[in-house]
């Protein structure tokens, strides 16, 4: 795990701020990963807090047999290693739950996340051309353009062995 100040990981009961964040960034709090619909409003939300109580990062993930699916990971303190520490906490929780792989889904525009996950050892496991366009029939509020106004059409899946 990345070294840094002492932090506390705990489940967050009130997801309202997180769900609002998902709506701003993605247009929905529902995600389609591996042809399965996940609703972050219904999944546990893990928070990483500074010792004085400030929320630094959040993650929503699901466990499905030997696979864990990372539905959302957001750092609220960029450039301080919060996302890396949160990812390590999710990986540890997924391993403890019996998962042997962790999967993340990204959209074609999300270059910062693509670099982040690859830096942390994730490898490509799937490319779904026009998947986001198709998902809009189920989740019509999904954003149409994202990072640097790049049109959002395709889904990329990455995985890492736990």
Whether 112 is in a domain gets the answer yes
Which pLDDT does position 3 carry in this prediction?
Answer: 60
DSSP class of 76:
S
Residue 137, Ramachandran bin (φ over 0: left; ψ between -120 and 50: alpha; else beta):
alpha
Question: What is the CA angle 37-116-126, rounded to 5?
Answer: 45
E strand intervals along 44-154: 45-50, 55-64, 67-75, 101-107, 123-128
- Integer Cα distance of 69 and 110 in angstroms: 18
| Structural domain range at position 134 | 7-161
Give this prediction's pTM: 0.89
* Domain membership flag for residue 153: yes
Confidence of residue 41 (pLDDT cuts 50, 70, 90): very high
Any domain includes 74: yes
The domain spanning residue 41 has which CATH number? 3.40.630.30
Quick check: is 1 in a domain? Answer: no
Count: domains in the chain: 1
Model confidence pLDDT, tens digit, residues 52-71? 899 999 999 999 899 999 99
pLDDT score of 4: 66
* Residue 2 falls inside a structural domain: no
Write the pLDDT tens digit of every residue in 120-140: 999 999 999 999 999 999 889
Residue 34 domain-assigned?
Answer: yes
pLDDT of residue 25: 85
């Amino acid at each position: 795990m990345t070294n840094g100040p002492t932090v506390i990981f705990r489940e967050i009961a009130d997801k309202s701020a997180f769900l609002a964040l998902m709506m701003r960034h993605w247009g929905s709090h529902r995600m389609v990963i591996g042809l399965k619909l996940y609703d972050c409003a219904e999944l546990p939300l893990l928070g990483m807090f500074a010792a004085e109580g400030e929320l630094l990062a959040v993650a929503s993930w699901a466990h499905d047999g030997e696979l864990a699916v990372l539905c959302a990971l957001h750092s609220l303190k960029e450039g301080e290693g919060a996302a890396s520490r949160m990812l390590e906490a999710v990986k540890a929780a997924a391993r403890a739950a019996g998962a042997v792989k962790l999967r993340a889904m990204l959209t074609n525009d999300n270059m910062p996340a693509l670099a982040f996950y690859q830096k942390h050892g994730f490898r490509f496991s799937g490319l779904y051309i026009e998947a986001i366009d198709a998902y809009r029939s189920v989740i019509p509020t999904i954003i149409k353009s994202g990072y640097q106004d790049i049109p959002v059409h395709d889904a990329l899946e990455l995985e890492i062995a736990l």
